[in-house]
Chain A
Amino acid sequence: MSDIDIRQLSKSYGAYQALKSIDLHIPDGALLALLGPSGCGKSTTLQLLAGFDTPSGGEIRAGGELISSPQRVVPPERRGISLVFQNYAVWPHKTVAENVAFGLQLRKLARAELEARLSRALEAVRLTPLRDRYPFELSGGQQQRVALARALAVEPRILLLDEPLSNLDAHLREEMRFEIRRVHDELGITTVYVTHDQGEALVTADEVAVMKGGIVQQLGSPEDIFERPSNAFVASFIGSNNEIPGQHEAPGQLRVADTLLHAQDRSGLSGPGRKAVLCIRPSRVRLGEAGGATNNLNGVVRRSAYLGEYRDVLVEIAPNTTLRAFVSPHLHFQPGEPVLVHLPPEHCQIFAAPDDAPRARPL
């Protein structure tokens, strides 16, 4: 096992900067999720980690050893880093056992040792009964487990997972999330998990790095990321979110239309008049009650949908400004009905408006 240390890593393709100097440290045995929309640089980071690409700047160390820099890239096969691909990349001309055993055969192990490790790997992903099947005889989930077993069998010091679940159907995906976490807990391999699905990231990861535009926007525990996003992008990318634009009045105060709202200020802005946004998750919005002295607004219900576990209500709080609230399914609202809206200050956060944001630094 080993930790991973990424310093000022950047990568350009011609004029396009895919990675703009990122720093990350992944402790030994941790599972880090790289989360972000497509084009955010997460896959580039993974390719650089795996050794398939040469960085334009910065370096990557694994267990203290320099494995990637613009001058020197240790080839993939010498890194002890296994990669599981989005499209599984299971070799179609080999059986399940042959796929998994391939990496072991390269290590010239004794026959008994090889067989033992093969069985262990197949067992770990519960594929033992299917060991002599060819890939075309397997379902997508089974193929993904072959890919996982193949990567694990060689006992890598680092495991990379590239959107491993994105080709599976919803039900399987949910099951495999826990499967991956279980395997990680069992083996404790330092793991980097690339995904665009926040659910996957939150369930599986010890830490999540949210990326956008080649920059790490925030690095933190799933709870940090969800509860204390470092900017509006992170807040909106993770879970449902309301973004209410307004004027920054003073630290902790934001003016929306003619109402002054109080909130935790994470904008880093000083002085009044700058554009900012207030973020609050729909589940924290209260309707029909004045919950406190401040942050009360008068709104009009525009839409109300019953979703079984909760009711999704769209409220207009100012001309052209709406927000969503998830409230108890037992509350009834009719479109056009005036309603009192309360935004609890402890759940409100102020961020600089996205186009006005100072360059975020990773935490």
Chain B
Amino acid sequence: MASSRSVSAARSASVGYRCHHAFRLIVLVILLAVLALLIVQPLGWIVFNSFHDDVTGQWTLRNYVQIFTPTSLWAPLFNSLVLATAVAVISTLLGVPLAWLVARTDMPMRGFVRLFTMAAFVTPSFIGALGWILLAAPNSGWLNVGWRALSGADWPLLSIYSMIGTIFVCSIYTVPYTFTLVSSALEEMPVELEDAATTLGSGVVKTMFSVTIPLVMPAVLVGFILSFIQGMTLFGVPAFLLTPSGTLVVTTKLAEFYQLFPPALYMSAAYCMPLIAITGMLFYARRCILGRRQFTTVGGKGRAGRKIRLKGWRLPALAFALIVPVTAVVLPYIAIVLVSLSRAWGLGPIPSNLTLHWYRWAIFENAETQRAIVNSLLYAGGAASFCMIIGILVAYIVERKLLRGAGLIAALVTIPIIIPGIVLSVGFFSAYTRQPLTLYGTATIIIAAFVATFLPIAYSQAGSILKGISPDLERAARSVGATEARTFASITAPLMRGGLVAGWLLVFIPIMRELSVAIFLVSPRTNVMTTLIYNYKDGGNYEAVCAASALLLFATLIVVLLARFVTEGAAYRRRNAASLGAVP
């Protein structure tokens, strides 16, 4: 009896052993295949292209020689570095305190600040730039006109056509990255850690800097790096605001390459390689800064949390917190909406000039706009979901150390974000127009490009959620008989849910506003809002541009609100509940 029992146990165990490894293997093989298709292939083409001559199509090192010789190619790189660094610093200085005020204090209007900071995120930066041209162009900008009228001065208060103006506009539209990452980290942090410091007699501000911020350092650093990358890869803002002063940055220089005859696509590919090196260094620096410190401590009890009382500082804090909502959303959208309501925007906002025509046209009359709105929502929704799935899998493998060399996969999925969209677009074109993958002209190719581009965000968000979930919760399930897959489905996934929705939005929104990566991939049937808006802009139809932009903002905000609504219930339970299963 005893022996037969142990024989059958042995058999079942060895079957399990094989099944277990077979399943892991299948998942891994599928994931690696997907990553190879999504990232390695297009990146491979970009690298391959960078070693070819644009005119002859032959192998050459000339592109690289050219990058490293003439000063004309160094200057844009240098300008981009200045721009990106400034954007990263300012976004961090604005975003971190903003996140703290919204997540941890009793500042008034927190909901408004949160929603409008997200709205800043939704705004394609070229539309923001457009809004700011209307506001702060030296002669005609409304703010400058108002300034002259009030002060009698003959010089403009603000000049948006400058490096400082560009940094400013880039920064206010980049703050949401830092804000979202840091505020969700802060919401997960136990209050006692702050209380401990406060009871030791540390002031609120000192506590924030000495306890709170260091604890959310990983999120702050990711925010900093994403902001830096954003500053490197933004095209719209420098194109509008820096061109008049003749200052080129990497993205506008790339645009010039594309204007050449024949277009210097291969040269552009080579020109992106230094960007990969710079980003690599950033991530390396992050590792050095964070070192071996463990941040899984985030996740104790009581995070449903009391708010820190600001007392007399509530209004000054609010004034600070309104900087981003007002400058990135309220002011530019007032300008944009006024233009969208005009028959002819040059006449200004006078009653006889007001009309709803452009909205009627965009929503009911124009089939192109209708299709683009639907496409944008579908593609962004699909791509964000797919992106999160891959991001979670990769993060799971990396965080739970399921595979040797997982760090390499992590590095791989991080690369696409630094490559300017227009170059990535060519990489995808090369990758998916050849046999056997002829996806050109389909929705799949656009979704794939979006997924690859924004995978780094999905991955880092999923990673930071997983860091907060103790592996013991998973092990407990394994030890009572759940397989790896079942454990993931029944334990890990439900525990990640609240953070996943935040992560999904963090991917969904930039996809909604992404322009350049789609530029060579859209077909008439698969056109999206941003490419369409850019076309209207190209044709100078600003009333239509503004109406479509307002609609894009509106559509995205509805999705954001829906997502929050859906998660709010789950978040409540999770917030209370997760405190107990967390790592000690």
Interface set of A (CB-CB < 8 Å, partner B): 2, 50-52, 63-67, 72-83, 85-93, 102-103, 106-107, 134-136, 138, 143, 147, 150-151, 153-154, 157, 160, 167
Contact = CB atoms under 8 A, between A and B. Distances in A.
Given A63-B6, A65-B6, A75 B477 contact: no
Contacts of A81: 479
Given A89-B476, A90-B580, A136-B577, A102 B6 contact: no
Nearest to B487: A77
A90 B478 contact: no
B475 A78 contact: no
A106 B486 contact: yes
Contacts of B14: 74
A93 B493 CA distance: 11
A93 B494 CA distance: 8
B72 interface: no
Instruction: Specify which of A72, A78, A134 lies most central, judged by the most chain B CB atoms within 10 Å of its CB.
Output: A78
Contacts of B476: 83, 85, 89-91, 147, 150
A100 to B, nearest CB: 9
B481 interface: yes
Interface in B491-534: 491, 494-495
B38 to A, nearest CB: 30
Contacts of A102: 477, 480, 482, 490
A37 B16 CA distance: 35
B10 interface: yes
A76 B470 CA distance: 17
Interface in B1-53: 5-6, 9-10, 12-14, 16-17, 20
Contacts of B482: 77, 102-103, 106
A90 B476 CA distance: 8
Contact of B581 (A66, A73, A83, A91): A91
A66 B7 CA distance: 11
Give the one of A75, A83, A138 with max B CB within 10 A.
Answer: A75
B91 to A, nearest CB: 34
Contacts of B486: 106
Interface in B556-584: 573-574, 576-584
A50 B475 contact: yes
A136 B13 contact: no
Contact of A77 (B10, B472, B478, B583): B478
Nearest to B477: A102
B198 interface: no
Contacts of B20: 75, 77-78
Given A52-B478, A81-B479, A154-B480, 17 more contacts: A50-B475, A65-B13, A78-B17, A79-B479, A85-B476, A88-B580, A89-B476, A90-B581, A91-B476, A91-B495, A91-B581, A93-B577, A93-B578, A102-B480, A134-B573, A138-B580, A143-B580
A92 B483 contact: no
A154 B479 CA distance: 10
B582 to A, nearest CB: 8
Contacts of B494: 93
A356 to B, nearest CB: 36
B481 A74 contact: no
B473 interface: yes
A325 to B, nearest CB: 39
Most chain A beta-carbon neighbours within 10 Å: one of B13, B20, B578, B579: B13
23 contacts: A64-B6, A67-B13, A75-B17, A75-B483, A76-B478, A77-B20, A77-B479, A78-B17, A78-B20, A79-B479, A89-B473, A89-B475, A89-B476, A90-B580, A91-B581, A92-B495, A92-B578, A102-B482, A103-B482, A107-B481, A136-B576, A143-B580, A147-B476
Contact of B479 (A65, A134, A136, A151): A151
A190 B577 CA distance: 32
Interface of B: 5-6, 9-10, 12-14, 16-17, 20, 470, 472-473, 475-484, 486, 490-491, 494-495, 573-574, 576-584
Nearest to A79: B13
Main SS of the interface on chain B?
helix
Contacts of B578: 92-93
Contacts of A66: 10
A169 B33 CA distance: 51
Contact of A50 (B6, B10, B479, B484): B479
A78 B479 contact: no
A83 B481 CA distance: 11
Nearest to B574: A93
B573 A82 contact: no
A229 B551 CA distance: 80
B17 A74 contact: yes
Contacts of B577: 92-93, 134-136
Contacts of A72: 17
A154 B576 contact: no
A6 to B, nearest CB: 17
Contacts of B584: 86-87, 167
The 9 closest A-B pairs by CB, nearest first: A103-B480, A78-B16, A92-B577, A76-B478, A89-B472, A83-B479, A89-B476, A75-B20, A65-B10
B473 A91 contact: yes
A93 B479 contact: no
Nearest to A157: B9
Contacts of A74: 13-14, 16-17
B72 to A, nearest CB: 50
Contacts of A147: 476
Contacts of A157: 9
A89 B12 contact: no
Given A89-B475, A90-B580, A154 B481 contact: yes
A2 B6 contact: yes
A135 B478 contact: no
A39 B470 CA distance: 21
Nearest to B7: A65
Given A92-B495, A136-B576, A83 B470 contact: no
Contact of B472 (A79, A87, A106): A87
